[in-house]
Amino acid sequence: MGLRPAVRRLAVALVLAATLPAVAAGPPRPDSVLDFLRLALDLEKRGAADDFEEFERVTGRLARAEGDLSGATDRLARLIREGADLATAQSAEDALADAEARVRSEQERRRLLSSRIAERVRRAAALREEIVKRRAAGKSEDDPLTGRWDVAVNPGGRRGVLRLILDGALVWGDYTFDGGFRGSIRGQLVGDRLSFERIDVERGFDARFYGRLTTSPRRLTGTWEATAIAPATGPSAGSWSAVPGRETEEADKP
């Protein structure tokens, strides 16, 4: 999967910046390694954001192409029933073939984007896991959010895992839910109030989550709502809760 030239040049610069000092002055300091990991993750996040935007544009074009295909099919069927002349029928067939080609083209574009986004999510997840491990080693009481959370979403009792990282007031991470749903998270924590957007690798930005963080015991509870671009089937709002997962609990042990 190729990066855009500007991003590729930046990635190379980051690699050189991280490796050249190691040759001259020994192994990089832990904080410099963490900085490099965060910069590499930021590149993946930027690339994923661009891909998500393009995925939504392609989805819109695909919907329009499918509408044109349906209209072209209906028109050809009507002309055949009415016994239209050969030239008119041929024109309708050409329009139908063109609509079919555009649908196939947009479907292929969306498939490729979906694969690219999934690969970005996998790379980002690996970077996040390494960052979480390094940050957990020196995590203070001021960071009660970073780590793994086991989450339940209602209605429906869907379960999954959130992997969250708190960076100042910003929150980012990824998730996996029952049914093969996975993607990334971006949001913020202000006081004890958490809010974030869920960006699915298949459906794009499909839900907003709002919640409250309590520290004794550590727990997240709140509500969620689907976005306008989410599928119309299924619930459009509900509640959710999360408790620290095993990885977080182990990291918190002395």
Q: Give the CATH number of the domain where residue 159 resides.
A: 2.40.128.120
> Do 126 and 162 reside in the same domain of the chain?
no
Q: Which of 101, 133, 165 is the last residue of a domain?
A: 133
Tokens of 12: 């190379």
Domain range enclosing 205: 139-252
pLDDT per residue as tens digits for the range 1-22? 444 444 444 443 333 333 333 3
The domain tally of the chain equals: 2
Out of 117-126, 134-143, 182-191, 216-225, least confident range: 134-143
pLDDT per residue as tens digits for the range 59-83? 899 999 999 999 999 998 988 888 8
> Do 116 and 187 reside in the same domain of the chain?
no
Q: Which of 92, 111, 133 is the last residue of a domain?
A: 133
**pLDDT over 80 at 48, yes or no:** yes
Q: Which of 29-43, 97-111, 239-253 has the highest mean pLDDT?
A: 97-111
> Do 172 and 195 reside in the same domain of the chain?
yes
Tokens of 112: 């490729």
**Residue indicated by tokens 């959370």:** 149
> Do 36 and 113 reside in the same domain of the chain?
yes
> Do 119 and 66 reside in the same domain of the chain?
yes
> Do 77 and 122 reside in the same domain of the chain?
yes
> Do 40 and 155 reside in the same domain of the chain?
no
**pLDDT over 60 at 253, yes or no:** no
> Do 35 and 81 reside in the same domain of the chain?
yes
- What percent of the chain is modeled with pLDDT above 70? 77
Q: What is the pLDDT of residue 212?
A: 95
* Span between the terminal Cα atoms of the chain, in Å: 41
